[in-house]
Each structure stands twice: as C-alpha cells, then as structure tokens.
Chain A
Amino acid sequence: MAKKNDWVQVHIDVLKPEERATNIPEDTRHVPLEMWVKGHLQNDEAEIGDTVTIRTKTGRKVEGTLCVVNPAFHHDFGSYIPELDKIEETVKSILFGGRENA
C-alpha cells in the first residue's frame, strides 16, 4: 500500500504494437512502447497495479499504473570476471617481468 506523497514509479504503455512506427525491426514491432516515470503519489492511497497520478520532479502530472513504491537502484559491478585478472597478469608480465616486479 502506498500513501499520498510517497515516492513511486508508474508504468505506461505509450504505443500499442499496432500504433508503432513502421520502419522498425520485426521483433520490436510486436511489442508495445513502454515508459516508466517516477514521482510523488497524488492519490490518497493506492495498491500496486492501480491506475494513479504522480507529480514528477519537474511538476508534471503523469497517470500510469503503480508498479514500485520507493523505487531504488540495485545495479552493481557484476560477478567476478577471471579474465580481467588474467589481463592484469599478462600486461604486467610483459612490461615488468611479472606482477611481483610491478
């Protein structure tokens, strides 16, 4: 449950597949153009999936489907990539005769 003025994200299907531009690849033409916008909830309360109105940072009113309450970023540096360690070893070996000499 989200309350008025909570920071939320809404989702909008902007263009249905049949409304999309004609000069786009086949796979893209079969899916809608979707949009996500964040802002403060204007409704008194709402559940995920409800149609709501938000007020964005620039003051725009946008209507969409409530999809996240308190949206956050979770991107990271990914999993360990052993090849990067190998590259370091290789170039230090060429230039300095090995990591121990670098």
Chain B
Amino acid sequence: MLDNSYSAVMARKNEIMKRAVGMDYDLFESGSIAFDYEAMMAATGYTLEDVRRIQTEEFQIGNTPLYELKNLTALARVCAPAGMGARIFVKDEASNLSGSFKVRRAATSIHQAKKMGYKGVISATSGNYGAAVAACAAKAGLKCIVVQECFDSKGVGQPEIIEKARKCEALGAEVVQLTVGPELFYMFLRMLEETGYFNASLYTPFGIAGVETLGYEIAQQCRLMLGRDPDVVVCTNAGGGNLTGTARGLLKAGSKAEVVAASVNLSGLHMASDHQFNLKSFTTGHTGFGMPFSTWPDRSDVPRSAARPLRYMDRYVTVNQGEVFYTTEMLAALEGMEKGPAGNTSLAAAFALSQTMPKDKIIVVQETEYTGAGKHVNAQLSFARSNGIDIHFGNPEDEVPGKSIILPSHPSMIHARPADMTHLRTSLIHNAIKMTGKTPTEADIDFLAAETKTDREFVKEHLA
C-alpha cells in the first residue's frame, strides 16, 4: 500500500508531477541557476495563431470587447492637473466563458490534456481559474477536480471562494475544499497520483501561451479603434501569469506599451495564517502572492513556472483594498458595469495613473471578472464588517490590512503607490542564488539579466 504520509507524498513530488504535466522540465535545465525559458515556452509546439484557433474555434473564447470608460476618464480629469488624464479603456474579459480571462489559460491546457489522452484534469486554485478549467473540461468531455483553500479552522469560508466553488460545481466539476495551509499541495499531489489526471496548472507554458492572445488582441483592437498602440497596459498581478502572458502577446504584436503590474496591498497579513485568512477582503490580485511570485517564480505547482513577471514588468504599483472597492462602485455608478472587485485592482491603479499622463495618451486595463453572490463589493464589505474590520471614509494611506478598509473621502485620493523595482529585481537575483545554492556562471548572469529586465552590469552589481 502506498505511504500517503505528508513526507512520503512530498518525496514523490517530482515523479507525480512528471506524469501529470506530460512535460520533462529537466530538458531545459542548465545544471546551474539558468534554464532555457524560451525553449520551455516553445515546447508547447503551439504558435500564437494555433492558440488563437484553439481558443476561438474549439472553446469559443477570446475576442472580448475593449470599452472606453469615458465617464471614469472624465472623473480622472476632474482630479488631475490641467492637461492630464489619459483615456482609460478596459478589456471586458468577464464576457468570456466562465467569466474571466483565466479561461484563456485553461483552454490550451485542456486541449493539451485531451490530445495526450488524459481522462481528466485537476487544478489547485481558489480563484476564477477553477471555473475556467471546469468550463473547458465540460466542453472537452473531461473529468475535472478543483482543489480549493476555502475555510478557516472554524469552518468559516471566504464568500468569494464559496461562490467560485458553486460555479465550479455548476459547471460539472468535483470540488475538494480545504482549510488554510500550504499542505493543499500535498492533497493535490495525492489526487493526481490517485486519478492519473492532468495537472492543469496555472503555471505551465500551455497556460501562459493562452494569455498571450489577450495582449495580442489589445494591440490589434487599439490599432483598429484608435489607429495607434496603447501607451500603458495595467495588469492585476498575483502569480504573475496574467502579466507575463499579456506582455508576451503585446510584444508578439509589435507593441511597445509600458507594462504596469498592480496588486492590492495586503502587507502585514500572512497568507498561511488560519486566523488572518478571513481578515483579508481580497483572495487574489494581492501583494501576498504578487510580491513573492515576482521575486521567486518557481514556488508554484510545476518545477519551473512559465509565469515570470519581472521579465516583462516596467513598473509595479500597489493600491489599497478601500480604493479597489471604491473603484468597483464607481464602475457601476458611472459606466453601468457591475464587475468582481479583485479584477478591478488594475482599474483602480489605472484611474490614478491616468492622472499622471497627458490627455492624449491611452491606458488599457486588461481585464474584468464576473461578479455574483459572495464575489461582490457589497458581499465582501459586508463580510469584512462582520469580521470586525473597521470600514469608513477617510485617507486610504491610513488603511491597515486586516484591521481597516478606508474608502477614499474623494476619488482624487485614490493613488497607485510605486514599488521599488530595484529592490524587487535584487530580491529575485538573491533568491535565485539562495534557492539553487549555485555560484553564478557567465550564462547565469545573462539569464538573471533577462529574468529582471536589466543588463549584465545590473546583475553583477547586485550579486553580492
């Protein structure tokens, strides 16, 4: 009988994974710090055109509308200095099958799983990705299990995650729910081993290749609608796949748009804390994932993550919970669009960034997500209030994650706070050395320069 203790299962991690992703990651390793990222991305065997065909013909996703938010732009201009206030556009990804951009990531994975003869797929996610995988599995006729971190030790669930469980079940998936803790990965491995299903990880090259069409479409749509490329594209950043895929798609379209990451500031809250689990009002799109995954991407459920956001990020800004909730309400009140709060993280940032750019510039928010019971500005504020979080109008700068949610007294108080890019890049370099235990070779220095979107001089200067 198989030893299913925590240590025994974790020791079998590599062989379980190899069987479950159908890809040998060892092929891309150099034996030192570097690995061949582009070779790994190319190993899908799919060009961007292939991915577009899979998405549009097989799953009927993508080609979502790009809307100009004229009233939000007008409001940004009221708040901005004279002559400032870039035009704000939003890519309405909520109109996709399953209600978010995540279905782009799922489609290529499920296509691959089906092609390789897997009978089912498993995904470890508490987010929109679960519903995306469930929807694509339903279309492909594959079985589907979604593993969620959902409850604290008192059995109280995050309403946002409970709604996602409901949606996964509605789309035919089996949902396995767990209490807080990183050992979710252990149960995930056990189920992969038990079922022999495909690991529909968010972080395989298939998943990230699926997001490239999003960036590509943004460039194409801007050219068609405006006769020009966007100046700035803002991506909500958690695990880094959204930004990585979008940026790669923009580059493949020949766009030179500046790529800005945006996360909700949850500093001070520990993501694996049972007590703090229900004190946060965002379960994704926050710094608790965004910062660690940016500065060390290889912490996911595959040996090497295809989501490597620091390779593509020009700037990283944070916004506070109250500012994102405020923006979500503004979007409904001024644009008639009712969307899920987490997806509006980048919109809150864009509203502030627009005010720093001239009026003739274009800023694109690259996603929206669906909303519903539990996963809604009213539901999430109500849950926060019932957990003793102090919600009031004031200065967002005074917000303390886990204690307060401060709604700005005036929309001009919404700010996008820049993170220190040099610090983030240096952290990645230090993490790479610490986690691998290797002394960097010349090839590693080139690799780290690419990993951090810098040059050899920067890497050498910060190796120490």
Which residues of A are at the interface with B, using a C-beta cutoff of 8 A?
14-15, 19-21, 23-25, 27-28, 31-39, 56-60, 73, 75-79, 81, 83-84, 86-88, 90-92, 94-95
| Contact status B166-A73, CB under 8 Å | yes
- Binary flags per residue of B123-152, CB closer than 8 Å to A gives 1, else 0: 000000000000000000001110000010
Given A78-B382, A83-B391: A34 in contact with B179 (beta carbons within 8 A): yes
| Contact status B381-A78, CB under 8 Å | yes
Chain B interface size, as a band, is 35 or more
Residues in A with CB closer than 8 Å to B333 are 87-88, 91-92
Which residues of B are at the interface with A, using a C-beta cutoff of 8 A?
5-6, 71, 74-75, 78, 120, 143-145, 151, 153, 155, 157, 159, 162-163, 165-166, 169, 172-183, 186-187, 191, 194-195, 270, 272-275, 326, 329-330, 332-334, 373-374, 376-383, 385-386, 391-393, 407, 410-411
| Contact status A20-B181, CB under 8 Å | yes
Residues in A with CB closer than 8 Å to B178 are 14, 33-36
| Contact status B334-A34, CB under 8 Å | no
Residues in A with CB closer than 8 Å to B187 are 14, 33, 35
- With beta carbons under 8 angstroms apart, the residue of A39, A87, A94 that contacts B407 is A87
Complex Cα spacing A5 to B71, Å:
54
| Contact status A57-B153, CB under 8 Å | no
| Contact status B382-A33, CB under 8 Å | no
- Cross-chain pairs A/B with CB under 8 angstroms, 12 sampled: A24-B182, A24-B183, A25-B273, A27-B274, A34-B153, A38-B169, A75-B166, A77-B373, A79-B382, A87-B326, A91-B333, A92-B333
- With beta carbons under 8 angstroms apart, the residue of A19, A28, A32, A60 that contacts B6 is A19
| Contact status A75-B379, CB under 8 Å | yes
Centre residue among B180, B181, B272, B391 by max chain A CB count within 10 A: B181
| Contact status A84-B329, CB under 8 Å | yes
- With beta carbons under 8 angstroms apart, the residue of A15, A76, A79, A92 that contacts B334 is A92
Complex Cα spacing A21 to B153, Å:
16
Say how far A10's CB is from chain B's closest CB, in angstroms. Answer: 11
| Contact status A33-B183, CB under 8 Å | yes
| Contact status A81-B381, CB under 8 Å | yes
